[in-house]
Structure 1
Amino acid sequence: MGEPHRVGIVGTGWISGAYLETLRDHPAVTVAAVADLDAARAASVAAGIPGCRALPVGDLLADDSIATVLNLTVPAAHAEVASEAIKNGKQVYGEKPLTADMSTARTLVEQAGALGVAVGCAPDTVLGTGVQTARAAVDAGAVGRPLSAVAVMATPGHERWHHQPDFYYRPGGGPLLDMGPYYLTALVHLLGPIVAVTGAAARQRPTRVVGTGPRAGERIPVEVDTHVTGVLHHASGALSTVTTSFDAVRTTAAPIEVHGETGTIEVPDPNHFDGDVRLFALGATDWQTLPPSAGYAGASRGIGLLDMLTAPSPRASASLALHVLDAMTSLLRSAAEGRRIDLTTTTERPAPVPLTPAARWRG
């Protein structure tokens, strides 16, 4: 198998723990270094990984022994960290969104292409058995010709549980750019690329109250729209209606439903890797739960990075992330301008993931 691929992690906040569950003991990779603006936090994380060093951010990005940088910084820092890593000839896999704005993302992808450096981007949850089983059913004709989809993400806001929720309400955050990547990426897997969007959005409250932790009770400003809804016009002719909201207490809506001429597929939460996929066929009297038939079984965050290192064509690609960012920022622009917006990007529908037992992808 050769030497393990050496990975350096920039950003050791909460989400890094989820990635380390997948990567820490995987035989194909070595987490060689971590970095964070909080040096003490980086040191604490490094202490739990054999052979791992805690480095300043700049030193990690320049370290010749690091082959790939896992960029887990806040959205506003995604572009700066990724660009510096690419400049140093390193592959990059980052948290979503690719960057906080479309212009910066396009420049980043062009930079990587010019230097021949691979870039991947979350979400990789869509590579699990949930979305992939639903996709396999759609591709097999379980609903006939797909006509439309509905996607709903509705919560009262992350400030209720997050100790430092400020970035969710700054440019690069909000329900669409924070949670939309899961839903829109899943919809591209299910129905293919998007050609245009029509959106509407609102910001009903100027501040939010931190609900937990040492800052509980503190008011933070809201700089982004907190309820975004709209329609995605897919190249196939299908229409997807999408709602992402930090202004809803609860919803009974399915995370995603795909409607076709002969049936409806209910898709589990694309923020998770698995979950029940249900089919209601035309003329049936009840839902049918489909057994897992595709996807990485038992997967967790980091599977997209492993896929990027091993698959002939990475599924969590920069092309897909750029296209999803184009759709999201165009939805916001459409809402602001009150008109349909044609997208300036497209992407290939990623290759489906065959049903892959955990024992196989875990090595």
Structure 2
Amino acid sequence: MDVSPTVTAADYALIRNPDAASPTQRTAAMEAPAFGMVFTDHMARATWTLDGGWADRRIVPFENLSLHPGATVLHYSQQVFEGLKAYRWADGSTRLFRPEGNARRMAASAARLGLPAITEEDFLASVEALLSVDGDWVPSEGESSLYLRPVIMGTEACLGVRPSQEVEYLLMACPVGAYFSGGVRPVSIWVAQGFHRAGEGGTGQAKTGGNYAGSLMPQQQAQDNGCDQVLFLDARKDKYIEELGGMNVFAVRRDGTIWTPRVTGTILEGVTRASVIELLRTEGREVIERDISLEELRAGIADGSVVELFACGTAAVITPIARLVSPDFDELVADGGPGALTMHLRGRLTDIQYGRADDVHGWMRRVN
């Protein structure tokens, strides 16, 4: 991790957007925005060089980037990113959900991709600095929020296959509503055939764009077959379930235990995943992290020993799964409706995030 002096939000110099949206324009833009399609007026930036480390921290107008055609990110995908949310509470304050976890994961992802990490305090400072100027973009209606997307990418103009010696950090923000159209509803999942998200020794545990690029064609297959998301199996044996294109998976069993694939280096360690496990265990429920074969899961659905399936992630929070589909089978989970435990967990988690329940875990960080 980059060693640097203490960094605070005040270290991000502010250059205001002269064309910032008016209150009326902002209100119109925030009415039911499609996920990741509406952006706020500003973004945070910082620049890293081999000799100087991280410097030139600033909040600037949201604008297009200027990149050299030889930038390493364009040729060798040297890039990592994160996703977290800011929530408007009833008292008017803005809170972040476990941002320290995102900062630590981004540092680990950067190390795997040969990129310099920013410190946890620098990561949090950039978020607080951006929210200090674009705080009015945090929605207050229903279960909407402000989605934050930090990115670290290699920008050096060099076609040599080596880590970039010039790197840019960006932080942008988008007001968002429900990730899946239609709000919270049971979704159908396509089981990928012959395609894998990650292999042993690869970048599966890093949050990097290449992992998602490889999931897009199977995701299109899912949509072509009437499904909302795609489930990947392990690359070594093509047998064990791993994760969806962007979410972790849990199975609720009739005996009261909850199973989820263990993290082995090919599965992203989700902040929401960790939170779900902690919530379950504080309720005295047994969570088992283990290898789960597709055959075992299908058999459990068929004989009723698996009574609920759900997925979780920052964007979608907790989403019930109704069906598993492939060219060879179409398995309906229980009656296909949202499971009781799934919706209970979703309620518990969102109540903490929106300040409707006491934050006994200390997960929420106030920024203004």
Structure with greater proportional helix content:
1
- Name which structure has the greater RCO, CA cutoff 8 Å, separation 6+: 1
Superposition TM-score, scaled by structure 1 size: 0.23
Superposition TM-score, scaled by structure 2 size: 0.23
Structure with greater proportional strand content:
2
